Structure 1
């Protein structure tokens, strides 16, 4: 046993089974005290919604918090952005222009103000946006010289409302979440930035996720990866199409799946 870096998504990855999370938290806290293991949360939530989650769930205090799909990095309990990361994302980014161009696509419904971040423009769409529409949106942004990427994932309207997003719909439907980010920013790039700052080896780093916006944690990465057993179809399909011996698909769900994966890689004892 020795130090490792755990980078984990929150909703439906670490969070989802309170008993399993409490069991894993106990092991992680002991490991952190004994081996100086580092815990990083990487979430699509804004800092505002992250704090809302900490009021509802017994999360460990992370060493680093990555918010807003990899566009914001906070260290320890600080509410101050990592300015070096923010400066890195600024080149080729014009938020107001992105919002203006996106207005040409009426099927996209803007997320609440709390989720519209300095380096993230976010929308909901009740039906899966067509490949042509995505292509047109991407082309329209690139034609203006904007160095961006579009990331899509899915969630139920009930879950989205539970996050505090107040999606106005009287029924539980699947919602597509669309985030426009700087091309230099996603969960995977933020993980690499943090890992290098913490000076932890790639071999001692493991990332955990459940949905489409977590693909960046695994794609073309030498870090270990854990996909929890309750992962969404968009991630499972990608995993099947892109096999990697460094990636483990757990049978158990939520935090129990993380525990299973950490044991598989030898980071925790069985």
Structure 2
């Protein structure tokens, strides 16, 4: 049955669309098989920088999207127009000073390791911090709160990645801004993800979601009471995304490749069990 309710699909990349080459390739084929008249707008949201995401698209690993939210919600790119949407970027300047952020981070009494330059941008200071307890992350937040002229957000995900961002920057806020910019409601939107920094998308009122079978505990906890397609642990990365889109009626049986390596009966059973 065709579902015309959904106009926008926003998905994380690493651990969601990426992470299983077979099903990443299958997702690209399935998405491009959906007729344009019933295919939602496609948006990628990722901690990766924009150039890295564009390289994945140019390499034919991913289908061409309509929009890209890069660097943990710090920039929005209109793929059709091939340009950054500057109205959003200008909102991030308030309370943000990258040099001051880096100075404070470097002076913290925790074992932070700065991530390589290709993970950094003017609105994102990214570090490695392994297996930090909640108390340690709270202490880091307090250190930044003591700087009166800064308004920042500290995001810790995957038990390793520490991002310091402008206060208004995260995947959820950037998605809300883009939806409003496009005149699309949250009830017309599906998101997909696997980690804690995706949770800000799932908790937007009215959003439907796809939680992959390889999702991390922090996302599972945040979405425990939400209306989502929760994939079993055997469904990982893009495999879960495809089945989640089947669940919501975006992908139909006719969109699946004729040489589909997965039993279509299993796909139908997943939809029924998860309804």
Please classify the TM superposition score into its range, dividing by the shorter chain length: 0.7 to 0.9
Aligned CA distance change for structure 1 residues 25 and 56 (closer, same or farther; 3 Å): closer
Runs of 4+ in 1 over 4 A off after TM superposition: none
Retained in 1: the 8 A contact 2:49–2:118? yes
Q: How does the TM-score come out when normalised to structure 1? A: 0.83
Aligned CA distance change for structure 1 residues 91 and 14 (closer, same or farther; 3 Å): same
Aligned to 2:142, the other structure's residue is in SS state: helix
Q: Which residue is 1:179 aligned to?
A: 163
In the alignment, structure 1 segments of 5+ residues that lack a partner are 155-174
Aligned CA distance change for structure 1 residues 40 and 117 (closer, same or farther; 3 Å): same
Q: What is the 5 A alignment of 1:128-207?
A: 128-145=131-148, 146-154=150-158, 176-207=160-191
Aligned to 2:192, the other structure's residue is in SS state: strand
Q: Indicate yes or no: 2:18 matched with 1:18.
A: no
Aligned length: 246
User: Which of 91, 96, 102 is the aligned partner of 1:99?
Assistant: 102
Q: What is the 5 A alignment of 1:27-42?
A: 27-31=30-34, 33-35=36-38, 37-42=40-45
Q: What is the 5 A alignment of 1:1-270?
A: 1=2, 2=4, 4-31=7-34, 33-35=36-38, 37-54=40-57, 58-76=61-79, 80-105=83-108, 106-125=110-129, 127-145=130-148, 146-154=150-158, 176-240=160-224, 243-244=225-226, 246-251=227-232, 252-270=235-253
C-alpha deviation, 1:148, in angstroms: 1.2
Q: Which moved more, 1:257-266 or 1:47-56?
A: 47-56
State the Cα deviation string for residues 93-137 of structure 1 (Å, max 9, x = none).
Answer: 111111111122251111111212111111002x32243432222
Q: Which moved more, 1:93-102 or 1:20-29?
A: 20-29
State the Cα deviation string for residues 219-247 of structure 1 (Å, max 9, x = none).
Answer: 2431111101111222223333xx11x22
State the Cα deviation string for residues 130-183 of structure 1 (Å, max 9, x = none).
Answer: 4343222212211212211111112xxxxxxxxxxxxxxxxxxxx610001112
Aligned CA distance change for structure 1 residues 116 and 71 (closer, same or farther; 3 Å): same
Aligned CA distance change for structure 1 residues 20 and 132 (closer, same or farther; 3 Å): closer
Q: How does the TM-score come out when normalised to structure 2? A: 0.82
Q: Which residue is 2:265 aligned to?
A: none
State the Cα deviation string for residues 34-92 of structure 1 (Å, max 9, x = none).
Answer: 23521100011012332443465521111001110011111116664221111111111
RMSD of aligned Cα (Å): 2.1
Aligned to 1:103, the other structure's residue is in SS state: helix
